[in-house]
Structure 1
Amino acid sequence: MVSLQEDSQEEDVCPICQEHPKEAVRTDCKHLFCQVCLAQHMDKALASEALCCPLCRKPYSEGVLGDPYICHKHQKRFQRFCEKSKCLLCVECLESPEHQSHSEPTIENAISHYKERLNRRCRRLRKDIGELQRLKAQEEEKLQALQFQVNCGNHKLEAELVSQHQDKGHLDVLPQQHLDQLEDTSAEEARILDLSKAITQISLLVADLESTAKELDANTLVNASDLLERSTPKIL
């Protein structure tokens, strides 16, 4: 891949997406593009005998894409994505027996498909976060009520002990009601802690899903597949 350190100011926009080139690559005719934009342009031109620059129509080689779009085994451009084996396939990979029996989506279609699945999963998990936050608020209200009961019980117990000229340190056993309240308070605090941890974990997953969907390309399709499996909603 050609070094892009000496690019001129007029080359700071990809002609396809009209944004600053991401993982920029240069065609043989010296035009600059986002790596993923040029790869998607190639996928749309699969039926063409020659790859032509979107700007000047001059031919260029598949190798300009560099990693991760070139199959190291066959030195051909990746064209398909196998969801079962989670790997990218070039035209020669597609001729192997394990892939001849079924149709693999093009990289462009796979990117579109996984981007939609990532976004759907984000929406689902955001709803889960909202539900967990609602449950946490309810548990916090219960905890406040329990703490109030414990405080009232403490004051009552202390008053009784004062009248009997004793203190808690001299009691062999605390009243059962007081013990039950303390146990309920501890259990409520544990539930709130579990809910807080779940909210944090799911929030981190949502951030990963959003970031992956935004930057999704051939290089991150496998990561997207793994992330979708890892973020499958679980019943708490």
Structure 2
Amino acid sequence: MAAASPFQNLQNDTKCPICLEYYADPVTTECGHNFCRACINMRPQGRGVAVLACSFSCPQCRVVSSRARLRPNRHLQGIVESVKRLAQQSEVLQAHSVCEEHEEKLKLFCEEDQRLICVICREARAHKLHSVRPIKEAALDHKHKLQDWLILLIEEKEGIAASKLKEEQKYKAMKKKVEAEKLKTKAEFQRLHHVLKAQEQIILKRLAAMEKTIATSEKENLAGLSAQISLLENLIKELQAKCKQPAEGLLQDVRGSLSRCESVKFRDPAKAILKPEEAMRNYKVPVTLDADTAHAALILSENGRRARWTDRPQTLPDNPKRFISDVCVLGNEGFSSGRHYWELQVLRVYCGYFVGVAEESVRRIQQSREPPRGRIWALSCYVEEYKAVTADPSGLNCFSYSDVFFSQEAPETLGVYLDYEEGTLSVYNADTMERIHTFTKAAFNEQVYPYFCLWDADLRII
């Protein structure tokens, strides 16, 4: 007796051992066996009479189980539905596997006519001069073509999805700005009430028009991107289903599938125009902290990417590079040319911190008798108040503060962008890429290093 095929075994596994039909609303007993809910809920009692009982004996292992603990097996129900569909497809394919004209099994594929033929059709005049190949060989070749298209389409879909996400974030930020401006305007006009009432209405109408414009643009752009994604998803599903079919099914209308793939218009990444803040991230460099320069009150992580302030200074070996007066640390990497960008995350801050760059010769000991050297350019944060800070080489440990800023919400992530040749240093809110401050005409005279100064704060370089 011939062994059952794997598909037949799968069909048997999806049938109830009581009614011998495909599972209907399958449930799992406490002992792990599966039955139709209707079959297991009714047990025979005397002369074939079926009654509902609170507990029952498993028909397969005789373990007593409670009906209250029957668990629906939705995963098995899904498998049953899939097996049913496969059985139907198998019947359709078997009906199309025989030549209607010669009643011979279809074993060949005609490349010119793009159809399955039998060995007798091969010798007929209609196919005598055509290129003919075995079904499996032709199916394998076309499957490779479909898979190549599948890879391209998936990449295209992911690219468009990323663009959609970026557009959504952009519009969300724009709407957030407009909403914040509305609240600010309302608060200000409430204070001035009588004098500026008319002006308030004008500005609110203008902001409402901006919201409407943004909403219209958002709807149009996102709808277009969603339509492209939907089109690609449908085509991807079609190709995935094609590639899973046997040779006969795969080759049916394969030309139509390939034609639909060729009609897809792919985006041209070479034509993408980067915004200044996006282009800036192309200069991102890995920055680590130099343990030889760290003040004793700073604890560095093993990978050199995190610094934490402690009120119990450590005992560290003497090093001429180490900061003694200020709770500072420099980066390992120094820069004497080019453009460089790095980001850091503010994990905790109770007092404040400095973030910027310092020249290599920056003073490490306040009481040093050496003449003042080494300049500093940094952004200072103290209780959400920001100041631009530069070191004044004309005095001992003297800083110059200017350009006071104030932020209603301190950014969690900061970006630092250095252009050595241009002599500029900019600090950004890396979450929104809004510029906080730019130092211009710095005129760096020597190699500069990433500079961090912490007072009861905890920073991590990303």
**Structure 1 and Structure 2 fold alike (TM over 0.5):** yes
Q: 1:217 to 1:20 in 2, by over 3 A?
A: same
1:53 corresponding residue in structure 2: none
In proportion to residue count, which structure has more strand? 2
Higher RCO by CA contacts (8 Å cutoff, separation 6 or greater): 1
- Within 5 A, what are the aligned runs for 1:158-197? 158=186, 163=193, 164-165=196-197, 174-175=205-206, 179-197=209-227
Task: Indicate which of 197, 219, 222 corresponds to 2:252.
Answer: 222
Aligned residues of 2:109 and 2:138 also touching (Cα < 8 A): yes
Distance (Å, rounded) in 2 between the aligned partners of 1:187 and 1:103: 53
Distance (Å, rounded) in 2 between the aligned partners of 1:230 and 1:142: 32
Cα displacement string for residues 22-70 of structure 1 (whole angstroms, at most 9, x for unaligned residues): 9xxxxxxxxxxxxxxxxxxxxxxxxxxxxxxxxxxxxxxxxxx953221
Equivalent position SS for 2:117: strand
Alignment-mate amino acid for residue 115 of structure 1: K
Task: Indicate which of 128, 152, 170 corresponds to 2:180.
Answer: 152
- Larger CA deviation: 106-115 vs 178-187: 178-187
Aligned residues of 1:69 and 1:219 also touching (Cα < 8 A): no
Larger radius of gyration: 2
Task: Indicate which of 5, 8, 11 corresponds to 2:3.
Answer: 11
1:203 corresponding residue in structure 2: 233
In proportion to residue count, which structure has more helix? 1
Q: 1:228 to 1:97 in 2, by over 3 A?
A: same
- Within 5 A, what are the aligned runs for 1:57-136? 67-136=95-164
Cα displacement string for residues 64-98 of structure 1 (whole angstroms, at most 9, x for unaligned residues): x9532211022222232234433212234334544
Distance (Å, rounded) in 2 between the aligned partners of 1:20 and 1:99: 35
Aligned residues of 1:114 and 1:225 also touching (Cα < 8 A): no
Alignment-mate amino acid for residue 242 of structure 2: T
Alignment-mate amino acid for residue 226 of structure 2: S
Distance (Å, rounded) in 1 between the aligned partners of 2:102 and 2:121: 8
Q: How does the TM-score come out when normalised to structure 1? A: 0.61
- Larger CA deviation: 113-122 vs 89-98: 89-98
What is the root-mean-square deviation of aligned Cα atoms in Å? 3.4
Distance (Å, rounded) in 1 between the aligned partners of 2:214 and 2:246: 47
Distance (Å, rounded) in 2 between the aligned partners of 1:135 and 1:160: 37
Distance (Å, rounded) in 1 between the aligned partners of 2:212 and 2:125: 66
Q: 1:150 to 1:20 in 2, by over 3 A?
A: same
Report the Cα offset of residue 228 of structure 1: 2.6
1:234 corresponding residue in structure 2: 265
Q: How does the TM-score come out when normalised to structure 2? A: 0.34
Report the Cα offset of residue 135 of structure 1: 0.8
Q: 1:87 to 1:125 in 2, by over 3 A?
A: same
Alignment-mate amino acid for residue 150 of structure 1: V
Report the Cα offset of residue 193 of structure 1: 2.9
Cα displacement string for residues 119-174 of structure 1 (whole angstroms, at most 9, x for unaligned residues): 22221112112211221121112111211232134335545765344699x87x93
1:20 corresponding residue in structure 2: 7
- Larger CA deviation: 211-220 vs 95-104: 95-104
Report the Cα offset of residue 106 of structure 1: 1.9
Distance (Å, rounded) in 1 between the aligned partners of 2:187 and 2:266: 46
Distance (Å, rounded) in 1 between the aligned partners of 2:266 and 2:111: 26
Aligned residues of 2:112 and 2:130 also touching (Cα < 8 A): no
Count of equivalent residues: 179
Q: 1:85 to 1:167 in 2, by over 3 A?
A: farther
